[in-house]
Amino acid sequence: MSGRRIEILKHAQAVHVRAAEEIAHFAGEAVSTLGEFPLCLAGGKTPEGAYAYLAERLRSSVDWKEVHFFWSDERCVAPTDAASNFAMAERTLLGRLRIAAHQVHRIQGELAPAEAAAAYEAELRAFFSLADGDLPRFALILLGLGENAHVASLFPSAAVLRETQRLVAAVEVDDPHPRRITLTPAVLNNARAIIFMVTGRNKAPAVKAVLEGPADADRFPGQLIAPSDGQVIWLLDQEAASLLSAESRETAR
């Protein structure tokens, strides 16, 4: 089932709550149909509130022993580094829920980038039992959106935007944490469901460009996200949605 839904919520906290509720919903659906919930976490700061709410207020709503945690991308830093997307998830979610090590499939940011990318790709192939040419199909992928409309570590004009063979790539980006490992567009677009969490006025131009702008995925990589057989849910606060047209806002929940 494909399609896009936009929800505009009062403020960032409401986005965190809705995201946590949706994650719990998708977890229940996946565990009952697949027997497990392969979940791909977003990095950055926005998801922190959603992860904390999930761990503290929805702890009993998910069969956590069936959840397998992956990441959409990672900075090339140690897992204890404050910039690590793994470290953020460990602090806000995994550690609080005492998730077992075998359920955590982190990107090894401490390795040389090419090695980290190869190791993560091997981990995906093993977990999803992929044959050559197959793509992993996550039950749910969480994403944020950068001010420059990047998603994961797919930045504007990057060669990786046109990657069609690899599942994972090592990239250098224009960011305070330039060296990164990222899932490639094909993997993101093979998800059953994708939830974007975007808050703050600083993100409004990127939201406008991705949802309503002229087609230009090279300039606005968020436009690449269009699963062939999957739904996309945008959870926006009013500030991030503030430049959207009246039509988009009317159709939003």
Segment contacting ligand 6PG by CB under 6 A, of 40-48, 111-119, 120-128, 207-215? 40-48
Strands (E), 37-95: 37-41, 67-71, 73-75
Kindly tell me which residue out of 22, 73, 90, 123 binds ligand 6PG, with binding defined by CB under 6 A. Answer: 73
Question: By CB under 6 A, is residue 43 in contact with ligand 6PG?
Answer: yes
- How many other C-beta atoms can be found within 10 angstroms of the C-beta atom of residue 189? 18
Q: Measured from the CB of residue 224, what is the shortest distance to ligand 6PG in angstroms?
A: 13
Q: Measured from the CB of residue 184, what is the shortest distance to ligand 6PG in angstroms?
A: 14
Q: Measured from the CB of residue 246, what is the shortest distance to ligand 6PG in angstroms?
A: 26
Q: For residue 69, give the amino acid letter.
A: F
Q: Which pair of tokens denotes residue 64?
A: 């956590």
Question: By CB under 6 A, is residue 221 in contact with ligand 6PG?
Answer: no
Kindly tell me which residue out of 11, 32, 34, 45 binds ligand 6PG, with binding defined by CB under 6 A. Answer: 45
Are 146 and 220 a contacting pair, CB within 8 Å?
A: no
Of the two residues 31 and 152, which places its CB atom closer to ligand 6PG in the complex? 152
Residue of 167, 184, 192 whose CA lies nearest to 37: 192
Question: By CB under 6 A, is residue 55 in contact with ligand 6PG?
Answer: no
Q: For residue 210, give the amino acid letter.
A: V
Of the two residues 8 and 188, which places its CB atom closer to ligand 6PG in the complex? 188
Q: Which pair of tokens denotes residue 88?
A: 């953020």
Kindly tell me which residue out of 46, 92, 184, 190 binds ligand 6PG, with binding defined by CB under 6 A. Answer: 46
**Which three-class secondary structure string do you get for 113-174?**
HHHHHHHHHHHHHHHCCCCCCCCCCCCEEEECCCCCCCECCECCCCHHHHCCCCCEEEEECC
Kindly tell me which residue out of 38, 49, 146, 185 binds ligand 6PG, with binding defined by CB under 6 A. Answer: 146
Contacting ligand 6PG within 149-208 (CB under 6 A)? 150-152
DSSP for 13-44, please give it.
Answer: HHHHHHHHHHHHHHHHHHHHHHSSEEEEE--S
What DSSP character marks residue 222?
G
Of the two residues 43 and 136, which places its CB atom closer to ligand 6PG in the complex? 43
Question: By CB under 6 A, is residue 84 in contact with ligand 6PG?
Answer: no
Of the two residues 8 and 12, which places its CB atom closer to ligand 6PG in the complex? 12
Kindly tell me which residue out of 9, 42, 87, 240 binds ligand 6PG, with binding defined by CB under 6 A. Answer: 42
Measured CA to CA in angstroms, residue 191 lies from 53, 129, 137, 188 at distances of: 24, 16, 5, 6
Q: Measured from the CB of residue 83, what is the shortest distance to ligand 6PG in angstroms?
A: 8
The binding site for ligand 6PG (CB under 6 A) comprises 42-46, 72-73, 85, 144-146, 150-152
